Amino acid sequence: MKKMLVFACIAAFVAISTNAGIDQDYKSLVGEWKFEVPSAPYGYEKGMLYFFEKDNKLEGEVKFGEGNKIKLTNLRYAKDSLKCNLYVDNEYVDVKAK
């Protein structure tokens, strides 16, 4: 359940962001993005997404309200679609957003 709520939280944020006119270039994602999902479990309901470029690759991490930072792995952005993975409470979560 927690896994699905975290996935929904991140997917909703990314979907809202990409609908705001982000082009195909991942560089437009670089920066800090705030998210809030009141229905998520305590500690996961708000936080920040950080996207940055390292060695000409898109990388990122999510920081939840309680200060937990989690690295986003296998981050891919193409054709207005973002895909990545992360571990939440020792569970591997696939994230896909358009």
Residue with the larger pLDDT of the pair 34 and 3? 34
Who's near 59: CB < 8 A, 6+ residues apart? 51, 52, 53, 71, 72, 75
CA–CA dist 2, 32 (Å, integer): 24
pLDDT digits (tens, 9 = 90+) for 30-75: 999 888 878 877 888 889 989 999 888 889 999 988 788 999 999 9
**CA 41/CA 83 separation, integer angstroms:** 23
pTM: 0.68
Q: Is the pLDDT of residue 28 over 90?
A: no
Nearest to 63 by CA among 90, 45, 84: 45
Q: Taking residues 82-92, what's their average pLDDT?
A: 88
Closest CA relative to residue 73, chosen from 42, 47, 41, 95: 95
CA distance 93 to 86: 5
The pLDDT, as a whole number, for residue 13 is: 61
Question: Region 3-23: what's the mean pLDDT?
Answer: 55
Under the banding of pLDDT at 50, 70 and 90, the label for residue 23 is very low
